[in-house]
Amino acid sequence: MSKLYFKYGAMGSSKTAQALMCKFNYEQKGFKVFLLKPIVDNRTIKDGKALVSSRIGLTSECIEFDRNENFHDLCEKLDIIHEKNVIIVDECQFLTKEQVNELKDISLKIPILCYGLLTNYKTELFEGSKRLVEIADSIMEIKSICRCGRKATVNARLVDGKIVTTGDEIAIGGDEQYESMCYSCYIKKLNEQK
């Protein structure tokens, strides 16, 4: 039975690596996998082709989409809705509410696995993540740790080594701009900055 899956974690929790391993597993079993990522995540392009790339070096070509993409139209254009086809979405926090609704409809026919962040650097739910929490058939946390050893739950945005709590919701970056922390360390560092 097909379902809509949401697998989330803080930055650096291996979400993308797990998405790519899941893709490999499905392909080993004879499924065709359509790997998607939002065009706003422009960090990895090679030879003009968009890639999904993990911190541990796993990569795969993917199909990019923007906030105006209609997934029903995309599935029709790429002839995706067939038995033994699967959609995997990386960086799903950047989906719109409507796109998540479309994926839910499509998941009645084929499995859809979404990987991404739950909250932004302000500790607020992303639009796509919020809707996935509301309607996904399966929700799983991918755990990672803070420097102190506790579970990381906050994606702190850093500028010159200091946590910032204002600005645009989306600023694409990696370890140079973000650090995953437990809430206790996050509050402690914020208080130290005052």
Domain boundaries, the chain: 4-143
Rounded CA gap, 156 and 163, in Å?
Answer: 6
Q: Render pLDDT for 52-83 as a digit per residue (tens, 0 to 9).
A: 888 888 889 999 999 999 999 999 999 999 99
DSSP 93: G
Residues with active-site annotation: 91
C-alpha pair distances (Å), 3 with each of 27, 44, 107, 187? 18, 29, 5, 37
**Token output for 151:** 């579970």
Closest CA to 104 of 135, 82, 73: 135
Per-residue pLDDT band at 154 (split at 50, 70, 90)? very high
Rounded to a whole number, what is the distance in angstroms from the first to the last CA of the chain? 52
Q: What is the structure's pLDDT at 163? A: 84
Which residues 6+ apart lie within 8 Å of 43 measured at CB?
53, 172, 174
Predicted confidence (pLDDT) at residue 41 exceeds the cutoff of 80: no
Q: For the structural domain made of 4-143, what CATH number should be given?
A: 3.40.50.300
What type of residue sits at position 86? Answer: V
- CB 87, CB 69: distance < 8 Å: no
What pTM, to 2 d.p., does this model score? 0.91
Q: Render pLDDT for 81-112 as a digit per residue (tens, 0 to 9).
A: 999 999 999 999 999 999 999 999 999 999 99
Phi, psi dihedral angles at 133 (to 5 degrees) = -60, -35
Taken in order 43, 165, 11, 139, is the CA torsion positive or negative? negative
Closest CA to 128 of 153, 97, 102: 97
